[in-house]
A = this chain, B = another copy of it.
Amino acid sequence: MADKITPRATDYSQWYIDIVLNAKLADYSPVKGSMVIRPRGYAIWERIQAEMDRRFKETGHENAYFPLLIPMSFLQKEADHVKGFKPELAVVTHAGGEELEEPYCIRPTSETIIWAMYKNWIQSWRDLPLLYNQWANVMRWEKRTRLFLRTSEFLWQEGHTAHETQKEAEEEALRMVEVYRDVVERHLCVPVLMGMKSEAEKFAGAVHTLSIEAMMQDKKALQAGTSHYLGQNFAKAFDVQFQNREGKLEHVYATSWGTSTRLVGAVIMTHSDDKGLVLPPSLAVDQVVIVPILRNDSKVAVIAHAEGLLATLKAAGVRARLDSDDSQSPGWKFAEWEMRGVPVRVEVGPKDMAAGHVMFARRDTGEKFTVPAGEIGTKAVEVLEAIQKNLFERAKKFRDDNTHVITNYDDMKAFFGLAGEDAAGTANAKGGFADALWCGDAVCETRLKAETKATIRCLPHDRQEGIHGSCALCGAPARHRAVFARAY
């Protein structure tokens, strides 16, 4: 039985947790900072995984698997990398009943162990490119966690590619962030901005980082995927050289890119409402649930009829199920299936049966309408497509409505509120995306972050031409257009 879900307007954070726990997507675990992904949550991840994996293979990538443990000395080899990750490491000091000579850390990301292997596998330009991806668990010890969005252990994929030239590697980094954008927008129905990170926000060890950024319903940003151009940093750290086409030794150019179970959190936070989970049809295990209205005198006939409808839906390629449990009332079941996020509910009772129709209820809009029983298959397909489209459009409108051009520092502070205020605690909070010109100086960025908690989410890729004007933070000539926001 579903507990009450805290309304978004009351406490947005609690609303999110209530949905995750009540819809049985995940649970807290006895291991500090680690979560358990329950079957209904894991099924969402499996669908995201399947689509990502298909797209990676389509773009020429192969899956491989590298060790969970990384010798501590490997982390030290790339100076920025170790600085970025050292505070978050979990360390194995004992194994097989003995103290280890050199401790291992549990991978926070796998660049170092992978580049140690690439050294053995790459000799000539003929060995390039290496286009590898790994599906794995990683661990970054977090003090403050939130189910799916930030946990010490999480599941992800990490692509690690090696190339002959800077140009090829930069194209790869861009290609993969575009794959992310496309999957996240079309499959997860989450609109994103894609662009370069500022120096302060880039990956520890990258030359530059591209990211996709979504807006949640409390107007905060959520980083949904990153793709890094690593230059020759890791090749130099691990001495990976190849004989180029001119016969000269050169260090290899690299990328890495990742998305994680955080995407499940992004989907939940973007679409759900005060009744519970709302899922895009593409990610729903059950796209349609048939709830028959059972009365003693007509129960057998109605269930038989509903079974026929179920078969028609399945034949139409719809993932459908029938809830013929009669220990619960239809009203209870309606609420339960709404809470679980099934996109379409089909109601059918003796009167509907006699009239030759069924009742459709859309989870996204709440609309209800009758459909001739004979058209249930085609109509379901049509409505599911409409829901998939509507969820994206609705989220995009919300983001656009909450994106404002800001031109000076006072407006910026007024827009975000000060760091001390709990401006992001409810759905009625201040803030959103501030679209503003920026001089490129980290000093401006740091000052704004200290005062308002807002950071540069990215420099949107398609907004960097013809920059004129002055930095919204300091008034100096602008070099970039940036999107600022408070973020998860």
Binds B, one of A86-94, A178-186, A443-451: A86-94
User: For residue A97, which residues in chain B have a CB less than 8 angstroms away from its CB?
Assistant: 86-87, 89
Contact of A113 among B29, B39, B132 (CB under 8 A): B29
Question: A94 near B91 (CB under 8 angstroms)?
Answer: yes
In the complex, which residues of chain B have a beta carbon less than 8 angstroms from the beta carbon of A43? 62-63
Q: How far is the CA of A113 from the CA of B29 in the complex (A)?
A: 9
Chain A 121-138, CB-CB to B under 8 Å as 1, else 0, gives 100000000001000110
Q: In the complex, what distance in Å separates the CA atom of A38 from the CA atom of B134?
A: 10
A65 touches B93 (CB 8 A): no
State which of B67, B91, B137 has its C-beta within 8 Å of the C-beta of A29: B67
Q: In the complex where A27-B117, A31-B69 touch, is A96 in contact with B39 (Cβ < 8 A)?
A: no
Closest Cβ–Cβ distance, residue A46 to chain B (whole Å):
7
Q: Which DSSP category, helix, strand, loop or mixed, fits chain A's interface?
A: mixed
**Residue pair A137, B34 in contact (C-beta under 8 Å):** no
The verdict on A277 contacting chain B, using a C-beta distance below 8 Å, is no
Interface string of A277-314 (1 = CB under 8 A from B): 00000000000000000000000000000000000000
B68 and A34 contact, CB distance less than 8 A: yes
Closest 10 pairs between A and B when the two form their complex, measured CB to CB:
A96-B141, A39-B62, A34-B67, A37-B65, A90-B95, A91-B94, A31-B67, A95-B141, A93-B93, A31-B69
Given contacts A36-B64, A36-B117, 14 further A-B contacts (CB under 8 A): A30-B113, A34-B67, A34-B68, A36-B66, A37-B65, A39-B62, A39-B63, A42-B62, A45-B65, A90-B94, A90-B96, A90-B104, A91-B95, A137-B137
